[in-house]
Structure 1
């Protein structure tokens, strides 16, 4: 399935913003320029402001607008990756019989539970696995809990029903929400089916996090909109989601959990864009390493993300002859505290500059006093940590390319064991903002359909139409969908001598097989997506992937089978 949207050339510019713990990045991308590097017409890296990140965002966006000199009326969108805080909430479960043995917050860290758990209860309601009714909602029970929540002074409530994403008839969560709104008009209410799909604890936990950051997100987005007016921008405001797509500001204020930790996907998309991955100019099996001021995030195909406490602002200490890097950092105060900027704290950036890295950072004369042994040991420490975390991401021992992005990328060694080459594209320091600018719209539909009265193709088309309707409703643009399940046929050729039929696998075949393996495998062994990418890169290189029936093989044929489960530790 492919969703397409035509962006008018009258609005060719996209502004992307990424808010990190140390810096706030902003870029302007001209979507009419084909050269990825030249399409970034302005970029700015500014210190993240505390406690209000909005000031830093406004300063960064104002800078790129002034430097580019573009017509502000021709900006199509402004996507932002933002931050969050948490508050205490109440949780109301809807189920008469199930889930009592595992109460809310069961798998939360105790520190978070102590802060966030305001009140938890379970009342009648819920559905069965087929969408039928387990028990009806009892209004008197809802009103009783409303009185308790009011007495506790809580301002956010989560309503979580068993199998609620399948509730297209009874609308239990929405019914309870209406009752609570009537009794507690000043309380924020989150119902779980709006947050996530089937998977009760995961959906409930996501809803809890959403409710806890809702107040801060709503205030922050309101401040963003005010800043846009001061900047003279009339375009749409979006937040980037943690799946690499966009969320409109109104929805983001209601569902901020979807924008939680979106920096990782921004770095993947930005790195891929700047390296020409979308154009087939780089290996799709590259690892992306995003080095900020406080941490380093390493990811590969979004199947797994690993973070380590090493960044450009990481503090370096020498104790009893042993040099350590991090895990604490000077963070957004790097321009005040780092030696290279005239401060009194040795950081990873200081060591990189002292080593002679070619980057216009501070005053190199201020770090000449760092002794060679300290520099060498600090770099060896960083090298070991990066090699270790990159090795964790790999599903095979063969070396892989590493795409390096982020403002702290100067601290990465030029060579790493297990890495075939290090790619540092132009504008790598603002890649996250580029990823935000080039993010795409999306929609998710989670339904159970009966195929006894319709074909699989019809069921898929129905789901696709529902997703298109969701997207079109949020963007006010005409979208088209092309899904050729009925018309598509794989390429089958026959050997003239033996008559053996061979399936010549196409990129579309690989995508569909990966989806099928993931569904039929029930998630066992991790996502097949990275392996699908590995196979896909052979086709543009002129190679053929073939599938034959085992019965057509000679009796003396040798069969090789390789199995691995690099992510089996993620599952129970």
Structure 2
């Protein structure tokens, strides 16, 4: 086809990797033809200066296919440069960053980069300040920004010579009226001039710490990103191309060069995404609308991801992690195994092993077929396939035993089938696409695959995915459903997302909504969170609007070192490493003993991390993530504070046992991090309560974030009292009246007096009440006017009452559960983590693994301030966990109920014989990939989960306990409670280790 007839409709994709630079030219109008419209392709080692490699790729392809620059409609580039700068801790590419937070006094106990590896924090974080500002979840002000505070911080930033500034405000992603981040940025630019200012709301969505982490990394790499993207664009201009230049981002869509220079973090994981989308393009439109597994086999590893029917990769759960930094922006869910063309093959104790060791890029030197001495997967593949002409086949054919070849093929097949099964979201077979240079080692048939496809040109799938990337936009917001229905609001937001996608460059007729989530917010009247993503094809009729390839940068930034060596291995950082490893993992489990002296347990960081894991599992889906509270306690430990735990068995009759915790929406908790509301409530309680200050503190509930609040309050300088190893729930119930003091009923009312504080100067004190239910109702009504998240303090009870009422040794139980999860991770035994947890809670007579499978359905609705819903889990056919179960929840999980084939999932139609477990017994859903608890707000389609049941404490199994905490209290009046097993009292850490530390 002549260049003239193409009429500017060719797309160029270039992937600049650490090893190779791949290129492809595609004519999309011919994508249905046998050659898939691929005009030319190129693969060569990546050059020292990336612009040379890009120019060489494009020039070579132009010559081979006689393409004129005027025929090119776009150039799209994928790169790993920016993520590599972070991973290698390269100080020549990472800038120092200042952080200005808007939201004081909230988040004061979790300063920026609190959860980063110390070396990376020391390298990047140069200054931080917490100032007035921030919004409540309903859009009202926590406080307005104060110009003089920002100006003062600008002076400090200027003195330190910092040129990159992050501004983050509480609930800024929903701030469309106050524009606090924008207004603060205007002040910063006025005071500091030519600096980079990153607004957190432009980088990520709700989740304060994670959004801030992403914004800081983005700010740190901005200068290098401008240099790199400018270097990418240089050859485009030199070659006479007048088309737009795009960079691929994490979700398989494109950013303009200018946008990528502002938001380089969005490109961090684009490599796997490009590979997946490129593979899908190669198999053609006959597979449109069908989910596909993409298996990318390289020299050392195999990366596997699921391409959903909407054409986008399945994303990871709520949080992702890069180089030890936790973030909340989209990241493809990709799993890797140690299988590649260079994998070493050998027998160990009679069993054939393939990988994970590999000769990697030295395959042409080390493999037998190339004259080397190392038997690799490529050698065995060539030996088994006469049609392959790789290296010198005579060096392996007839020289490797048939038994070994058969064992190699069986092991390779097993490894691939196992990872494919792990990544599937349903038991049905689905197409498997094999791409990558090592794809030859994979068999043509795999269990779980409806067909195995090895498309032509799969070696440049990354470049193809870049060339065919789409345009997208996301809206993540909180809206009031008081005057408009959730359905109407969703329709409006979908239209807004579509329009935003069109503005980003998509053609209007191709735009469609590809992701919709609607999440009602618990304890907040008429509020729901909506997350909508729209996507479409780039509108090439408007390409001139995006054709300016110029990215401006400060000439002082462009150094020979940073531009010409983007792929070098950086020298090790000389910053202080400090405590870089997770102490809960980096220990010898058999040797570790907690510190217990004179029957007081002194909590260490290792203890804390194990307790945190256990608290969320005992939260049975509710209670909110304890992550930010764990960080606060860890800071207290690192500051030298002492945290003590005592056994309820050791309490004296006259001791005064206080209680406290947080109440409100978990969604607010992830955004408006704690200030001093918990302590404010305690202080006001004891100013007004005539019975004297508490001598001990006990958590209201062990489940979720409140499970750690006793440690926070007890160790605070205002109180300095021990925490009792127990709580009032043994889990996380939704309401304050669902507690064991109410079950025992020895007092007419337990939870009055009560003090409630919002951390911003507003305090409610309720000295008396007619019932514990009324206390709950008053606090819930107060919540909406106090920011939907408060700290509470309860008047103390006696030591004698605590011994009778408390669910005993639940901090010890959390510790034991967390220890087993940490052990399973370290020993690579996550497959058996559920069984290990059951052993930790008392063995087979106390708990049971109820189910293993994948979430295939989630429904939620808001009623009376609580989230009601159910999650459907589908098991794997041919195992003891085949079929489906449903788990209804009211903030927390209520039951696990087996569903019969063809049966409707309707509440009220369940039968007792189908109930696997029901409250007050505990039902926990655990991530099968890492052993972490999954809260009900985090349930989503496709998650691999383990479901465990634990018999409730005997405190709950009396008739009154079952009435208050059993099925009737959750509206399941047609079902009756039958204990899962026999309760076994948790073994106290204090009893076991006293004097043995």
Structure 1 and Structure 2 fold alike (TM over 0.5): yes
Moved more, 225-234 or 178-187: 178-187
User: In the TM superposition, what is the alpha-carbon distance from 1:306 to its structure 2 partner?
Assistant: 0.7
Aligned residue for 1:385, secondary structure, equals: helix
Matched, 1:299 2:305: yes
Aligned residue for 2:476, secondary structure, equals: coil
Aligned residue for 1:446, secondary structure, equals: strand
For 1:16, the equivalent position in structure 2 comes to 13
Matched, 1:427 2:454: no
**In the aligned structure 1, how far is the partner of 2:357 from the partner of 2:103?**
44
User: In the TM superposition, what is the alpha-carbon distance from 1:128 to its structure 2 partner?
Assistant: 0.7
8 A Cα contact 2:382 2:389, kept in partner: no
8 A Cα contact 1:95 1:134, kept in partner: yes
Query: Aligned pair in 2 of structure 1 residues 548, 177: CA closer, same or farther (>3 Å)?
Result: same
Cα distance per residue 1:152-198 (max 9 Å; x no partner): 44342222211001111221112222222233334322111011222
Q: Which has the higher contact order (CA 8 A, sep 6+)?
A: 1
Moved more, 191-200 or 35-44: 35-44
Q: How does 1:325-474 map to 2 (within 5 A)?
A: 325-327=355-357, 330-331=360-361, 348-356=377-385, 358=387, 361-364=390-393, 371-372=400-401, 382-397=412-427, 399-450=429-480, 459-460=489-490, 462-474=492-504
User: In the TM superposition, what is the alpha-carbon distance from 1:305 to its structure 2 partner?
Assistant: 1.9
For 2:722, the equivalent position in structure 1 comes to none
**In the aligned structure 2, how far is the partner of 1:248 from the partner of 1:477?**
16
Matched, 1:144 2:132: no
Q: How does 1:75-224 map to 2 (within 5 A)?
A: 75-83=72-80, 84=82, 85-86=85-86, 87=94, 88-110=96-118, 112-224=120-232
For 1:35, the equivalent position in structure 2 comes to 32
Matched, 1:249 2:257: yes
**In the aligned structure 1, how far is the partner of 2:299 from the partner of 2:58?**
20
For 1:275, the equivalent position in structure 2 comes to 283
8 A Cα contact 1:23 1:293, kept in partner: no
**In the aligned structure 1, how far is the partner of 2:443 from the partner of 2:154?**
57
Residue 290 of structure 2: which of 270, 280, 284 is its match?
284
Matched, 1:26 2:23: yes
8 A Cα contact 2:341 2:378, kept in partner: yes
**In the aligned structure 2, how far is the partner of 1:102 from the partner of 1:426?**
51
For 2:66, the equivalent position in structure 1 comes to 69
Q: How does 1:536-551 map to 2 (within 5 A)?
A: none
Query: Aligned pair in 2 of structure 1 residues 459, 391: CA closer, same or farther (>3 Å)?
Result: closer
User: In the TM superposition, what is the alpha-carbon distance from 1:47 to its structure 2 partner?
Assistant: 3.3
The answer for unaligned runs of 5 or more in structure 1 is 1-7, 484-513, 529-545
8 A Cα contact 1:286 1:401, kept in partner: yes
Residue 265 of structure 1: which of 263, 273, 277 is its match?
273
What is the TM-score when the length of structure 2 is the normalising length?
Answer: 0.45
What is the TM-score when the length of structure 1 is the normalising length?
Answer: 0.75
Matched, 1:308 2:350: no
**In the aligned structure 2, how far is the partner of 1:62 from the partner of 1:518?**
55
Cα distance per residue 1:295-335 (max 9 Å; x no partner): 3211123143212344335566889998662456544x666
Matched, 1:49 2:46: yes
Query: Aligned pair in 2 of structure 1 residues 359, 369: CA closer, same or farther (>3 Å)?
Result: closer
Cα distance per residue 1:537-556 (max 9 Å; x no partner): xxxxxxxxx998979x9x99
8 A Cα contact 1:400 1:419, kept in partner: yes
The RMSD of aligned alpha carbons is 4.3
8 A Cα contact 2:51 2:234, kept in partner: no
User: In the TM superposition, what is the alpha-carbon distance from 1:386 to its structure 2 partner?
Assistant: 2.6
Aligned residues: 513
8 A Cα contact 2:382 2:397, kept in partner: no
8 A Cα contact 1:337 1:345, kept in partner: yes
User: In the TM superposition, what is the alpha-carbon distance from 1:250 to its structure 2 partner?
Assistant: 0.8
Cα distance per residue 1:186-215 (max 9 Å; x no partner): 432211101122222232222122223222
8 A Cα contact 2:26 2:40, kept in partner: no
Aligned residue for 1:102, secondary structure, equals: coil
User: In the TM superposition, what is the alpha-carbon distance from 1:227 to its structure 2 partner?
Assistant: 1.0
8 A Cα contact 2:369 2:392, kept in partner: yes
User: In the TM superposition, what is the alpha-carbon distance from 1:279 to its structure 2 partner?
Assistant: 3.4
Cα distance per residue 1:406-433 (max 9 Å; x no partner): 2221232444444453211222222222
**In the aligned structure 1, how far is the partner of 2:278 from the partner of 2:872?**
25
8 A Cα contact 2:859 2:870, kept in partner: no
Q: Which has the larger radius of gyration?
A: 2
User: In the TM superposition, what is the alpha-carbon distance from 1:524 to its structure 2 partner?
Assistant: 8.7
Query: Aligned pair in 2 of structure 1 residues 482, 25: CA closer, same or farther (>3 Å)?
Result: closer
User: In the TM superposition, what is the alpha-carbon distance from 1:223 to its structure 2 partner?
Assistant: 0.9
Query: Aligned pair in 2 of structure 1 residues 58, 316: CA closer, same or farther (>3 Å)?
Result: farther
Cα distance per residue 1:368-412 (max 9 Å; x no partner): 798558867766654443333223213445554321112221232
